Amino acid sequence: MFGASLRPGVELRLLEERHAPTLFAVIQENREHLSGLPFVDATHVEDDSLAFIRSSLEQFARNEGFAAGIWKDNNLIGVIGTLKIDWLNKKVEIGYWIARDAQGQGIVTDACRAIVNHAFAEWGLNRVEIQCATINQKSAAVAKRLGFKLEGTRREAHLVGGRFNDLLVFGMLSRDWRSA
């Protein structure tokens, strides 16, 4: 099972079916804060969170990536994970979110660092991407802090709330990560 200790009291753990009520509650409490993320519009009831967790566990079992809860003092405060690994091209995209009250503590940066380390060291991938809406400056700041390079903008590539948004594309190569 995947897991990582980020700092005292903060860790990443795979989400399990039993976490669905907690996950849904955190999303509900942060619905306005998370409104720019597509999954929020698709999460209406606890069963939606359960379906996400089951899908993530299936993804993990197939060795195609995973989703992990970000836990602080045993409280779920966010999620970080990967989209499906592109094994042919040895690359993956990571995504993340954190509760409003947990922002500004460097937790997402630490979580991303752990996922990128895992992608390069454990999976032997060559490339990790982070994409975020152009208006999501906090997410872009995480990528920049970790040394990801801004490679471009995907115009109107992100549909949320009936509106198309541009996406910033950040990339990190294994050789650049090792030398940083």
Residue 180, pLDDT above cutoff 80:
no
Q: How many CA atoms are closer than 13 Å to the CA of 146, on its beta-carbon side?
A: 30
Q: Return the CATH architecture of domain 3-179.
A: 3-Layer(aba) Sandwich (3.40)
pLDDT in tens, 76-108: 999 999 999 999 999 999 999 999 999 999 999
d(CA 117, CA 34): 26
**What would the mean pLDDT of 143-153 be, rounded to a whole number?**
98
What is the structure's pLDDT at 1? Answer: 57
Q: Evaluate whether 98 touches 34 at the Cβ level (below 8 Å).
A: no
